[in-house]
Amino acid sequence: MRRSERLGMLVLMVAFAFGGAPSNAVAEEVEQHGAATQDCLRCHEPLRTTIQRGVAHKPAADGECVKCHSPHAARFPKLLNQRERALCATCHQEKIVDFMKGNVHTPIKNGQCTPCHEVHGSENEHLLARTGNELCTNCHKEKHEEASLPAVHDPFVNGECLDCHAAHNSPYPNQLNAQTANLCQVCHAADSAELVAAHTDIPIAGANCVGCHDPHASKTKGLLRSVVHSPFGDGSCEMCHMTDSDTPRLVRATGGRLCAMCHQDYPKKGDTVVHKPVGQGECASCHVPHTGDVKALLASSPKELCSSCHQDLLARGAASKSTHPIVDEKGACLGCHSPHSSTEEHLLNSGPIRTCLSCHETAKHGHPLGEDRLDPRTGKGITCVTCHDPHGTAFSYQLRGDQSRGLCIECHDTDHNKPKKPDAGKRK
């Protein structure tokens, strides 16, 4: 085999390895053997109607089926010449490269164009598979349910999602067309008499509107989020803000001192363990001040909120053989821990035994527990967490060691009933 032939074979092998045979090679093969659109439509008759819709994909309309499909065999579903993204890029390469910048729509990130676009023909502009917000709610099903709520944002209910969002990608979060404040004020002028009155003369130019308002739909008038801080809902902005001054957006005190004007019971008196943000007066680390979607005005769900600081614990759990399940119905982490303060180590809601027994009822048989049963290694009372680590371990049942022997002999001698330290097994 000559050097040029070997080189040509190598090029073809690389092409097959990274996305399939070049489509022009398929086209040349078809041209040589006389395959045409009519050959395809003899079996795929329904596609004739599809191609004749209002908007046809140019290769389909021109009868160039082989630009996308192999007539004989292929490595990819539907006899496609290449994977979806690579196939579309043979004609739309510049667009696809541009679409991969910034915050990218998930289907594009996954190399998919067909969740939104038809490939042969469509009745809709840009070969879209559906019209209005039906296109978006086909994937974002939770938004379809929101459309029936009492207060609905006009662009959302009218299927004008692209008024606020870019379809493919955007430099802004959630594929927004602009920063939130600027985007909202395209339609809602911050200095309009209606908005000025609704916000009790507090300037809102540049404000984060979605901090208080749901941009899609809400159960509450004004698209307010579902959980509302009482002073805000009552229009008593003066309780927190200096509304009677030249700087009405300023608050009357900083940090936790502002919250403590009403919430004087956090941290509780007598509690010896205080959550660090509470001790430092950083209430806004966990709570939002006006409205939110989570009970107690939490900035996000308890699990997400806790993990924003305690990533190490979640990472350990994910890497462990066993970890205690996070029970969302019990408030996730809050099922065991107090968010503000506690009399117990690790901010437990109650002692380590009582905390566990609040869910795990007493079994007929179990290791002796309590202050009168001492851990010979520490001299402290044995509790559930002496043997178990709820945040995850390399062993079953969140055990801290091998249950067959290794864990037990950390405290017990080979004589089962004899502790390693003769005077440490039971409090005298």
Whether 254 is in a domain gets the answer no
Q: Is the pLDDT of residue 303 over 70?
A: yes
- Has residue 235 been placed in a domain? no
Residue 330 lies in a domain: yes
**What does the alpha-carbon distance between residue 125 and residue 361 come to, in Å, rounded to a whole number?**
62
Angle at 231 between CA 227 and CA 235, to 5 degrees: 105
Q: How confident is the model at residue 239 (pLDDT cuts 50, 70, 90)?
A: very high
In-domain check, residue 293: yes
In tens, the pLDDT along 320-373 reads: 999 998 877 777 899 999 999 999 999 999 999 999 988 888 666 788 999 899
Are residues 94 and 160 located together in one domain of the fold? no
What per-residue confidence (pLDDT) applies to 125? 94
Question: Do 374 and 412 share a structural domain?
Answer: yes
Confidence of residue 129 (pLDDT cuts 50, 70, 90): very high
Q: Do 119 and 156 reside in the same domain of the chain?
A: no
Number of domains in the chain: 4
207 plus 285 within the same structural domain: no
Indicate whether 241 belongs to any domain: no
Calculate the CA 309 to chain-centre distance.
Answer: 16
Does residue 247 form part of some domain?
Answer: no
365 and 325 co-located in one domain = no
**Is the overall model pTM greater than 0.75, yes or no?**
no
Q: Which of 323, 307, 334 is nearest to 388 (CA)?
A: 323
Q: pLDDT at residue 394 above 50?
A: yes
- Residue 261 · residue 253 · CB < 8 Å: yes
Please list the residues that pair with 412 across neighbouring strands: 419
Structure tokens at 408: 């037990």
- Res. 399: pLDDT tops 70: yes
Question: What's residue 202's pLDDT?
Answer: 87
> Which of the four pLDDT bands, split at 50, 70 and 90, describes residue 261?
very high
Residues 72, 163 within the same domain: no
Residue 30: band (very low, low, confident or very high) from pLDDT cuts 50, 70, 90: very low
Domain limit, last residue, from 98, 129, 160: 129
Tell me the two tokens of residue 52: 């004749």
Residue 238 lies in a domain: no
Whether residue 125 sits in one domain with residue 182: no
Tokens of 5: 């032939």
Q: With 80 as the cut, is the pLDDT of residue 417 above it? A: no
Q: Is the pLDDT of residue 85 over 60?
A: yes
Whether 327 and 388 map to the same domain: the answer is: no
Same domain, 298 and 354: no
Find the domain containing 197 and state its range: 141-225
Residue 405 lies in a domain: yes
pLDDT at 325: 87
Final residue of a structural domain among 325, 342, 359: 342
* 69 phi and psi angles, rounded to 5 deg: -115, 150
Would the pLDDT of 4 be above 50? no
